[in-house]
Amino acid sequence: MATAGNPSTSRAPGRQWWKGAVIYQIYPRSFMDANGDGVGDLPGITARLDHVASLGVNAIWVSPFFKSPMKDFGYDVADYCDVDPLFGTLEDFDAMVAKAHGLGLRVLIDQVYSHTSDEHPWFVESRQSRDNPKADWFVWADAKPDGSPPSNWQSVFGGPAWTWDARRGQYYLHNFLNSQPQINGHNPDVQGALLDVARFWLDRGVDGFRIDALNFLMCDPELRDNPPAPPSDRPRTRPFDFQRKVRNMSHPDIPGFLARIREVTDSYDAIFTVAEVGGDEAEAEMKSFTHGEEHLNSAYGFNFLYADSLTPPLVCSALAQWPDEGGMGWPSWAFENHDAPRALSRWCAPEHREAFARLKMTLLMSLRGNAILYYGEELGLTQVDIPFDQLHDPEAIANWPLTLSRDGARTPMPWNAEEPSAGFGSVRPWLPVGAENTSRAVDVQERSDSSMLAYTRSVIALRNANAALNHGAVRDCSTQGDLLDLVREADGQTVRCLFNLGPQTVPISQAEGSILFAANNATPDNLPPYGALILET
């Protein structure tokens, strides 16, 4: 078993390692296939950790690898404390942690507390009767007098959030697939069991958790209907979009459980916790979940993940939600992840992608908060168009053709352009690599000092070397057309970050100071299309 000791760090004494960290998200199915079965695995991750460490990041976040029927690709957990054979063994996990720690990388893993698989032993027992020891571990309810579901709640994946179970003669709640029954987070015994899960992984040496779909953990015990959503210009592709989700999620008792999680993590050394929070009330919930020193350390929402465009007002608005004030939590930002289409395919035209990729990486490393880098983002990967007959994602299939295209952002990492499937490790990977992304393979970019990979390393090094960029406060964030002007300060250092988020040159004046970094041929007088300039003032 891996030791619980953490890797050394050059961080300043008294400041948590995670504050300002760059975290690299690995989607295990798609990172590296060590045994040639078409699916990535833990030994594959271990084999490629040297690449991750070479980027200069502080930690890896590994998406679910737990035992699962894989109906939602690991987010339907059948055993919280074991590795699915598809990905390897617990010994493989321990080897991965040991290798990461040896390279100075912290290890974060997902925890999926709001729901399990219907194959999890807890649910298998719960559905047997109304009076067994785990009868109240999930959300069960009687039918209405006419036999219809207990409330009007809708599933994220489409259709009612209730499924009838003949064994108990009741409905059970599932906010996602009907094979993902909803945990009753109000139950103290359930909370205790989840805390034991956290201890299990902490004892194996993990350095923190990303907690999935956290605001779904508890629902309204009275099961009252959700009200209709107000009129909106946003497209509605699912029944879920027609409601205000005020009853089936976001219960005010959730922070009380988070305080219990914090008690557990504080009993270990330097543990980091970050909540995934989406939905209509995300900003308020993220602040509630991270308030003070008794809840989680950080939260990240969906400010950028589903944004159709990257604009200066969007950036300033997101940063303004997290002022440098006492009791305020610490934000984490991601432009891409396993649930959202690749940003380069959302935010710019194909002819601008090379320049935009550099701008985007520079901006991510300049934001106050933690920067979460999705695997392949350092290569400038784009969204792959997956034909319907090759889709695996249940959400994409259910909502075709109006789909989030999650499969297109989960394609295999390209390692060697000349090898089959770009060196992923198998001839027939579970998803196609994509010809465009094959041309961006690691081996190709390693041979060029001007590659996106080399650029990513340089801008991460810039962030790590400058206190104002790494953990400084935001002193000003202003916009003028496509120009974003961001000022940050820390430890006596002030930096001014200028970004041109548009395709036309923007003249600038009074850009005084020493140049720390220039992107896309930016100068103190002009920002070319998608240019960026970072000055120490």
Catalytic pick among 110, 118, 276, 393: 276
| CA–CA dist 515, 503 (Å, integer) | 23
70-100: b or e for each residue (b if 16 or more CB lie within 10 Å)? bbbbbbbbbbbebbbebbbeeebbbbbbbbb
Amino acid symbol at 260 = R
**Given the residues 110, 118, 212, 285, the one annotated as active site:** 212
Please provide the size of the chain in residues.
537
Q: Which residues contact 34 (CB under 8 A, 6 or more apart)?
A: 41, 43, 44, 47, 425
Q: In terms of Cα–Cα distance, which of 276, 75, 65, 254 is closest to 176?
A: 75
Tokens representing residue 228 in the block: 């209709």
Q: Which residue has the tokens 């194996």?
A: 204
CA 460 to chain centroid? 19
Q: CA-to-CA distance for 89 and 400, rounded, in angstroms? A: 35
203 catalytic residue (yes or no): no
49, 14 Cβ separation under 8 angstroms: no
Query: For this structure, is 212 an active site residue?
Result: yes
Residues 254, 265: Cα–Cα separation, whole Å? 17
Per-residue CA distances from 10 to 13, 18, 21, 104 (Å): 9, 12, 12, 10
R_g over Cα of the chain: 23
Task: Assess contact for 302 and 268: CB atoms under 8 A.
Answer: no
Active site residues: 212, 276
